[in-house]
Amino acid sequence: MQIALWGATGTIGQRILQEALDRGHAVRAAVRDPGRLTVSHPRLAVVRGDALNPGEVAEAVRGCDAVVSALGPGRGEPAEMLVTLNQRLVEGVRAAAVRRLIVVGGAGSLEVAPGVRLLDTPEFPAGWKAIAQAAADALAWYRREANDLEWTVMSPAAFIQPGQRTGHYRVGTDQLVTNEQGESRISAEDFAVALLDELERPRFIRRRFTVAY
């Protein structure tokens, strides 16, 4: 499969890139500054592209089987930029006639009780609320406006960080997945495993899903 990947230099994007290459896929990594991506691989092509420019998006992803986005607002950009980022990305994906799109979303909009989102709980860190709400708004936009595409928004567990690749995870949809201790965690490596599993064997077309241990 030929995969166009945005956000390949980030914590999650790096793991998605490695997992895709390890599985034998060809990856076209689109980055604003190609010099930031130091990975070298015969099935990896690095191209310059700004996700806020639909024309550059279309040029970067044209001919690919699927697009994966692990993008977030840049340093110093407002959290609300995330919605615009997704809108411009979709414009470019449409122009390139690519239908399959998987987007890394946020955990804040997952429900911890009926009608109660994680980001609305008293324990949710105040400093994360703006980006969590922006991710929730982006998901709502996909549900309203992007149903001509085979999109999937993938939310991580409440806590995601670099760790071990076990190949194991549990799946949920709009509810936060927790273990017996009430914890919601996933390594970035196993998040990448789950994302590539969805790309290879789709189960959540035009839906959001989440993974945790």
Q: Tell me the per-residue pLDDT of 13-54, one tens digit each, with 9 for 90 and over.
A: 999 999 999 999 999 999 988 888 989 999 999 999 999 999
d(CA 72, CA 213): 24
Across the chain, mean pLDDT equals 96
Secondary element (H or E) of residue 151: strand 150-155
Is 103:38 a contact under the CB 8 Å cutoff?
A: no
Beta strands 111-113; 170-172: pairing state: unpaired
Domain that holds residue 121: 2-212
Question: What is the CATH number for 207?
Answer: 3.40.50.720
pLDDT in tens, 114-140: 999 999 999 999 999 999 999 999 999
pLDDT in tens, 57-100: 999 999 999 999 999 887 778 999 999 999 999 999 999 999 99
Give Cβ neighbours of residue 46 (< 8 Å, ≥ 6 apart). Answer: 28, 29, 31, 34, 37
Task: Provide mean pLDDT across the span 170-174.
Answer: 98
3-class SS letters over 35-89:
HHCCCCCCCEEEEECCCCCHHHHHHHHCCCCEEEECCCCCCCCCCCHHHHHHHHH
The domain total for the chain is: 1
Task: Provide mean pLDDT across the span 189-206.
Answer: 98
Q: What is the pLDDT of residue 135?
A: 97
d(CA 176, CA 155): 9
Is 183:172 a contact under the CB 8 Å cutoff?
A: no
The pLDDT-based confidence of 198 (bands split at 50, 70, 90) is very high
Give Cβ neighbours of residue 40 (< 8 Å, ≥ 6 apart). Answer: none
Residue 168 has pLDDT above 90, yes or no: yes
pTM of the model: 0.96
